[in-house]
Amino acid sequence: MPGFFSPFITKPDSVSQIMLKVLLALIPGIALYVWHFGPAILVSITLASLTALATEALMLRLRNRPIAPFLKDNSALLTGWLLALSIPPLAPWWLVVIGTAFAISVSKHLYGGLGNNPFNPAMIGYAVLIISFPVQMTQWLSPHGMGSVELGFIEQLNYIFLGVFPEGIKLDALTMATPLDTLKTQLHLDGQIREILDMPIYGRLAGHGSEMVAAGFLLGGLYLLATRIISWHIPVVYLGTLFAVAGLFHLLDPAHYVEPLFHWFSGAAMIGAFFILTDPITSPTTHKGKLIFAFGAGLLTYLIRAFGGFPDGMAFATLLMNICVPLIDAYTQPKVFGKKGQKS
Amino acid sequence: MRTLYPFHGGIHPASNKAQSNHKPIAQAALPSRLVIPLHQHVGNSAKPVVEIGQCVLKGQIIGAPEGHVSSAVHAPTSGVIAAIDMQPVAHPSGIPDLCITLIPDGNDEWIAREPCDDWKALAHTDLRHRLRAAGVVGLGGAAFPSDMKLYAHKHKIKTLVLNGAECEPYITCDDLLMRERAAEILQGAEIMCALLYAEEVLIGIEDNKPEAIAAMRAAVLDGKYERMEVVAVPTIYPGGGAKQLIRVLTGIEVAAGVRSTNLGVQCFNVGTAYSTWRAIRHGEPLISRIVTVTGNVGQPQNFEALLGTPVNELVAQAEQLPDTRGYIMGGPMMGIRLPSAQVGVIKATNCLIAMSDSLFPPALPALPCIRCTRCVDVCPAELQPQELFWFAQSKNLLKAQEYHLFDCIECGACSYVCPSNIPLVEYYRFAKSEIWAQETSKKAADAARERHEYREQRIEREKQEKAEKLAAKEKAALDAKAQKSASPPPTPLPPAGEGASVSDAPVDADPEDTMHLKIQAAIDHAKQQAAGSKPGNTEQLTPQQQAEIAEIDARRTRIRELALSSVNEHTKE
Amino acid sequence: MLSALLVMAAIAIALGAVLGFAAIKFHVEGNPLVEKIDAVLPQTQCGQCGFPGCKPYATAIAEGVADINLCPPGGEEGIHKLADLLGVDFKPFGGDTTPKPKAVAFIDENNCIGCTLCIQACPVDAIVGAAKQMHTIIAAECTGCELCVAPCPVDCIDMVKIAENISNWKWKYPVYALTPSK
């Protein structure tokens, strides 16, 4: 019987509040996203949220679990938001729905629901989509003032839901490769870093517009750190590793390896460092484990970006490190009170 | 300024001490009856030494200590013993235990006491004996017999820690005791210090009790105690846990299963020091204690209450509010919910909290663990509470032990911070008691195996001895026959029976063979008997009836065999 | 070709020799599995499994002759332990074998005629008494096997359930509030 035994008091804190704060922390990044890329992303987020909640409710029903308390915990919403933010905003509606539904149903509920999923559901959703629908997953909107044409909100909705464009406009005119993708392609074509970065899609540090979105996520991440929703271990070590490894390569060969700050502010590095890797369910529980986990993720992100087949390595780095979590936890158990001098 | 060694973790719940700490300690009114449990301490239950209807005086022993670790129980006032029976007691199980019910006569007449003006003249064993006889136990909540903790060799113990931290919310009884009776606490500490040959006494008080710190410091100065120091320690729960306070004051970590005395530290609650002084100096046994009555009451305050005072009568004196729905004994973090309002105050009762839904809202439903490790951040034992929870939840007790389940002090900090509202401590308690139970049954099984094996051996040995005896007898008989038929031999035979050994007799018949022959004969006989007596109505039976008959027959045969073998044995002997 | 065959053969012989050596060097006397199984059994020696005691049952399990779900005093927990130990699936109790709450035998001393039959039946020597003297059970040593009940010619032995008291009370498994009510 709950509440019959001590302790009789609890801190007014709950899973839904934690998740809500994480959602709030995403808002600066989303706001900057809208500012630079237009409101299409809001449509994706809404679509993902609705799909996430519906799938969650359906799965809970199928699993014969109470629905209300789990829907209120905001975890499905967070998965939806994170996935929506990693998909091109002008993606067709079914892409968002398939990704979110897969993330919630397969990678969350088939593993036992909240708290039991070994892999980050949003990243699983992303991985499934990028492997299954590579074309749609690389149609990124150009930032304001970059593309040759720009669509109004209604026209965007028309495309997302009906796949129709206004007369005389083609998709290619609206979209472009991401900064990381462009870099990779250009390096393949024997370009030099300095020349590539002079291209109009690059801003001060990384991609024009996208660097500001990353900065927005950094801001939100700092809020999470300040409110102790997350600990410093993962973001600091992840970004530190990424910086160090990128810096090392950059020092060795500045013509072919871009500088470390570029890596910080492009792709999913920032949102990953503060919002994805820090997902408590899929990251280690010990401090030492978190350090190892973040180090591995940072290293893998860089290796995939610099040498792998995909432009960004965040999602796969996360998933690969997720696999290692139980092992990391088992080997990093700290010494307990009064037994620090002893050998375990 | 002394260096402090803060421990890992801890929480800052709302202290709720202000309600009850501004009023002086009040004397509780004499209750209508006293319900005194005989098991108020760690160790064996005290044995009742009074009878129903007997008149007892205040301070008279009514329960004598039984065995090594035990403590005496006394009549808190003069009166008549009304009952010695099972009553609800302050235990989480709600199972009743043996209690003595005393109806006060109102005279409050003391038994002859044995005061002592100069305790330094008494031998240490005598002092310890007096403490045991006075029923002095740890008043911080553990209720371990104090005399047991006051053994020490010279120079083994450096520091005596006096625990006045009182970290749990709501409780103020030690605070008030220190404010009002500081001098007597220090005198008690002086006795303890002498018994332990300790070099220094550190009195740890949380810095949210400035009045108590000031009072104790003044008393140290007044008494010119050079080896005593009052140390203000940071306010953090569970800073008043013995292990945590020792760590804060000395930097020494006492691991689970290790005695702090082996590391040169011993720890007592300030209330225990006070009771020690009353017991030695005035010869007063432990019959009352300071109890904070707070929570859903109009006048929260501290009472000096007789042990055995029914909770409802005590809480009524603090003007209990109508929407009270239960009582917590102890603090809200580690206390227990009382099974009944008639439970008597015991030596470990430091606080009584009247519960209402507004003060203690019902627990929210638990969600799954999201591995957020807020529990790791607050665990003072530096455990991984989430791992322990998973192991306890899946009843993987071995793994739970591997992850140091028994280092858990059940402070409840993890449950307090858990955003999923998981009753973590309950899982640990469950796992611990399950492991204890398994260990007990394992021990019982081992003992049973040993006894069984010993029995088998004995039966084997007896069989062999019997066979040897039988063989010797038979041989003697054969020899006698041979003698009769043949001419009398020149040499006398060895005496048959008890004294005869097999080796003495000439070996012409294997004793094993004769034995088998005998047994076979017995079996044949039994078979003949069985064949001779066949029941008549055994035809045309249903299979069910047949089965029943078979079962009954089997049982009969077994009984018969057992009976026969016993009869045989008796007749042979 | 030939050299490859020779190398393979040499490796095979060497490994075979190592295995043979290990078998001799690390040879274990007796059957340690029986001991391990016996350690899990509750040692009531009651024979309810159909074997004359716990050790014979352990031997039978080790030899694969007996099932793991034949020991009612061990309870379901005991079956779980055996399943874990042997790496087999848990098997619930069969139709007529069910675990009973732990009990101890109690002799009604008014009716005891001092026949010593129960003393001989007790597998753990937990009954004291002599011929034509009253017998009594040492409750602390009684395993609750019930073997003494049947032999008693005057039916004076009862099995008394061990009631829950403060010292043997166990904390219950916390109820998970979110499991469906169905």
CA nearest to B170, candidates B317, B303, B13: B13
For residue A7, cis peptide bond before it (omega within 30 degrees of 0): yes
pLDDT of residue C13: 95
pLDDT of residue B506: 44
**The domain boundary residue, chosen from B355, B377, B397:** B355
* C175·A1 Cβ contact <8 A: yes
Q: How confident is the model at residue A123 (pLDDT cuts 50, 70, 90)?
A: very high
At C157, list the tokens: 């032995």
How far off is chain B from C173, nearest CA to CA, in Å?
A: 6
Which among A2, A7, A15 is the nearest to B370, CB-wise? A15
Q: Are the C-beta atoms of residues B297 and B304 closer than 8 Å to each other?
A: no
Phi, psi of B191 (to 5 degrees): -65, -45
In a domain, C94, yes or no: no
Q: How confident is the model at residue B505 (pLDDT cuts 50, 70, 90)?
A: very low
The whole-angstrom distance between residue B173's C-alpha and the CA centroid of its chain comes to 25
User: In terms of residue numbers, what domain contains C39?
Assistant: 32-86
B7 to chain A: closest CA residue: A337
- The more confidently predicted of residues A317 and B511 is A317
CA dihedral B238, B243, B249, B251 (to 10 degrees): -120
Whole-angstrom Cα distance, residue A229 to residue A221?
A: 10
Q: How confident is the model at residue A300 (pLDDT cuts 50, 70, 90)?
A: very high
Which among B365, B559, B563 is the nearest to C177, CB-wise? B365
Strands (E) in C89-182, as ranges, are: 103-107, 127-128, 136-137, 157-161
> How, if at all, do strands B26-27 and B34-37 pair?
unpaired
Q: Are the C-beta atoms of residues B208 and B17 closer than 8 Å to each other?
A: yes
- My answer on whether B350 and B375 are in the same domain is no
CA nearest to B86, candidates C160, C103, C162, C166: C166
- My answer on whether C41 and C77 are in the same domain is yes
- My answer on whether B371 and B345 are in the same domain is no
Q: How confident is the model at residue A309 (pLDDT cuts 50, 70, 90)?
A: confident
CA nearest to B141, candidates B328, B415, B429, B351: B351
pLDDT of residue C68: 86
- The size of the A-B interface in CB pairs under 8 A is 142
Whole-angstrom Cα distance, residue C141 to residue B448?
A: 7
pLDDT in tens, B253-269: 999 888 888 899 999 99
Whole-angstrom Cα distance, residue B408 to residue B401?
A: 10
Whether the per-residue pLDDT at B565 is higher than 70: the answer is no
In a 3-state reduction of DSSP, which class is residue B352? strand
- The more confidently predicted of residues A139 and B357 is B357
Which among B91, B437, B451 is the nearest to C170, CB-wise? B437
**The domain boundary residue, chosen from C24, C58, C86:** C86
Segment B398-406 mean pLDDT: 93
What are the C-alpha distances in Å from B325 to residues B319, B339, B362, C144?
A: 14, 11, 11, 43
- My answer on whether B184 and B75 are in the same domain is yes
Whether the per-residue pLDDT at A2 is higher than 50: the answer is no
pLDDT of residue C19: 92
In a domain, B281, yes or no: yes
Q: What is the DSSP letter of A207?
A: B
- My answer on whether B61 and B88 are in the same domain is yes
- My answer on whether C67 and C111 are in the same domain is no
Q: Please list, residue by residue across A186-218, b when 16 or more beta carbons sit within 10 angstroms of its beta carbon and e when fewer do.
A: bbeeebebeebbeeebbbebbbbbbbbbbbbbb
pLDDT in tens, B407-433: 999 999 999 999 999 999 999 999 999
Whether the per-residue pLDDT at B538 is higher than 60: the answer is no
A70 CB-contact burial (10 Å; exposed 0-12 / middle 13-18 / buried 19+): buried
Q: How confident is the model at residue B98 (pLDDT cuts 50, 70, 90)?
A: very high
In a domain, C21, yes or no: no
The one-letter code for the residue type at B378 is V
Instruction: Tell me, yes or no, if A69 comes closer than 8 A to chain C by beta carbon.
Output: yes
pLDDT of residue A227: 92
- My answer on whether B368 and B335 are in the same domain is no
* B365·C117 Cβ contact <8 A: no
How far off is chain B from A20, nearest CA to CA, in Å?
A: 13
* Percent with pLDDT over 70 in chain A: 95
Which among A114, A281, A335 is the nearest to B367, CB-wise? A114
CA nearest to A265, candidates A222, A306, A204: A204
Least confident among A19-23, A201-205, A288-292, B377-381: A201-205
- My answer on whether B81 and B111 are in the same domain is yes
pLDDT in tens, A69-87: 888 889 999 999 999 999 9
Mean of the per-residue pLDDT values of chain B? 87
In a domain, C144, yes or no: yes
CA nearest to A6, candidates B551, B201, B423, B407: B423
pLDDT of residue B283: 92
In a domain, C79, yes or no: yes
CA dihedral A150, A152, A155, A161 (to 10 degrees): 100
Residue B348's domain is classified under what CATH number? 3.40.50.11540
For residue B322, cis peptide bond before it (omega within 30 degrees of 0): no
Whether the per-residue pLDDT at B63 is higher than 90: the answer is yes
Q: How confident is the model at residue B571 (pLDDT cuts 50, 70, 90)?
A: very low
pLDDT of residue B307: 94
Segment A160-169 mean pLDDT: 76
In a 3-state reduction of DSSP, which class is residue B150? coil
Whether the per-residue pLDDT at B540 is higher than 90: the answer is no
Residues in chain A closer than 8 A to B418 (CB atoms)? 10
- My answer on whether B162 and B214 are in the same domain is yes
Residues in chain B closer than 8 A to C176 (CB atoms)? 366
Chains touching C, CB cut-off 8 Å, 3+ pairs: A, B
pLDDT of residue C89: 86
What are the C-alpha distances in Å from C15 to residues A270, C10, C27?
A: 55, 9, 18
pLDDT in tens, A29-70: 999 999 888 888 999 999 999 999 999 999 999 998 888 888
Residues in chain C closer than 8 A to B427 (CB atoms)? 174
Instruction: Tell me, yes or no, if A2 comes closer than 8 A to chain C by beta carbon.
Output: yes
* B448·C53 Cβ contact <8 A: no
User: In terms of residue numbers, what domain contains B261?
Assistant: 26-355
- My answer on whether B410 and B467 are in the same domain is yes
pLDDT in tens, B113-132: 989 889 999 999 999 999 99
pLDDT of residue C52: 84
How far off is chain B from C143, nearest CA to CA, in Å?
A: 7
Q: What is the DSSP letter of B401?
A: H
Q: How confident is the model at residue C182 (pLDDT cuts 50, 70, 90)?
A: very low
Residue C73's domain is classified under what CATH number? 1.10.15.40
Whether the per-residue pLDDT at C127 is higher than 60: the answer is yes
Q: How confident is the model at residue C133 (pLDDT cuts 50, 70, 90)?
A: confident
Whether the per-residue pLDDT at B67 is higher than 50: the answer is yes
Residue from C171, C178, C179 whose CB has the most chain B CBs within 10 Å, to mutate: C171
Count how many domains chain C has: 2
In a domain, C180, yes or no: no
Residue C109's domain is classified under what CATH number? 3.30.70.20
> Chain C neighbours among B 203-222 (CB < 8 Å)?
none
Q: Are the C-beta atoms of residues B251 and B245 closer than 8 Å to each other?
A: no
Within 10 angstroms of residue B532's Cβ, the number of other Cβ atoms is 7
> How, if at all, do strands C157-161 and B73-74 pair?
unpaired
How far off is chain B from A145, nearest CA to CA, in Å?
A: 43
- My answer on whether C105 and C162 are in the same domain is yes
Which among C38, C123, C166 is the nearest to B95, CB-wise? C166
Within 10 angstroms of residue C25's Cβ, the number of other Cβ atoms is 7
Whole-angstrom Cα distance, residue B330 to residue B170?
A: 9
pLDDT in tens, B17-55: 999 999 999 999 999 999 999 998 888 899 999 999 999
Whether the per-residue pLDDT at B517 is higher than 60: the answer is yes
- My answer on whether C109 and C81 are in the same domain is no
At B345, list the tokens: 């105050």
Q: What is the DSSP letter of A199?
A: S
- The more confidently predicted of residues A322 and C93 is A322
Contacts of A43 (CB under 8 A, 6+ apart): A89, A156, A157, A160
Strands (E) in B219-321, as ranges, are: 228-233, 265-269, 288-295, 301-306
Whether the per-residue pLDDT at B97 is higher than 80: the answer is yes
- My answer on whether C80 and C114 are in the same domain is no
pLDDT of residue B541: 67
Q: Are the C-beta atoms of residues A299 and A263 closer than 8 Å to each other?
A: no
- The more confidently predicted of residues B206 and B511 is B206
Segment B354-369 mean pLDDT: 89
pLDDT in tens, A184-224: 777 777 777 777 777 777 777 777 788 899 999 999 999 99
Segment B275-286 mean pLDDT: 94
Residues in chain C closer than 8 A to B445 (CB atoms)? 41-43
In a domain, C13, yes or no: no
pLDDT of residue B511: 53
pLDDT of residue A90: 83
- My answer on whether B277 and B150 are in the same domain is yes
Which among C141, C143, C150 is the nearest to B559, CB-wise? C150
Whole-angstrom Cα distance, residue A90 to residue A173?
A: 13
Instruction: Tell me, yes or no, if A65 comes closer than 8 A to chain C by beta carbon.
Output: yes
Q: How confident is the model at residue C50 (pLDDT cuts 50, 70, 90)?
A: confident
Phi, psi of B13 (to 5 degrees): -70, 160
Which among B366, B368, B558 is the nearest to C150, CB-wise? B558
* A2·C175 Cβ contact <8 A: yes
Q: How confident is the model at residue B480 (pLDDT cuts 50, 70, 90)?
A: confident
Q: Are the C-beta atoms of residues C127 and C148 closer than 8 Å to each other?
A: yes
Whole-angstrom Cα distance, residue B390 to residue B418?
A: 14
> Chain B neighbours among C 96-155 (CB < 8 Å)?
115-117, 120-121, 123-126, 131, 141, 143, 150-151, 153
Residues in chain A closer than 8 A to C178 (CB atoms)? 65-66, 69
pLDDT in tens, B522-535: 667 666 665 655 55
What are the C-alpha distances in Å from B261 to residues A287, B192, B257, B557?
A: 33, 13, 12, 63
Beta bridge partners of B297: B320
Instruction: Tell me, yes or no, if A145 comes closer than 8 A to chain B by beta carbon.
Output: no
Instruction: Tell me, yes or no, if A61 comes closer than 8 A to chain C by beta carbon.
Output: no
ipTM above 0.95, yes or no: no
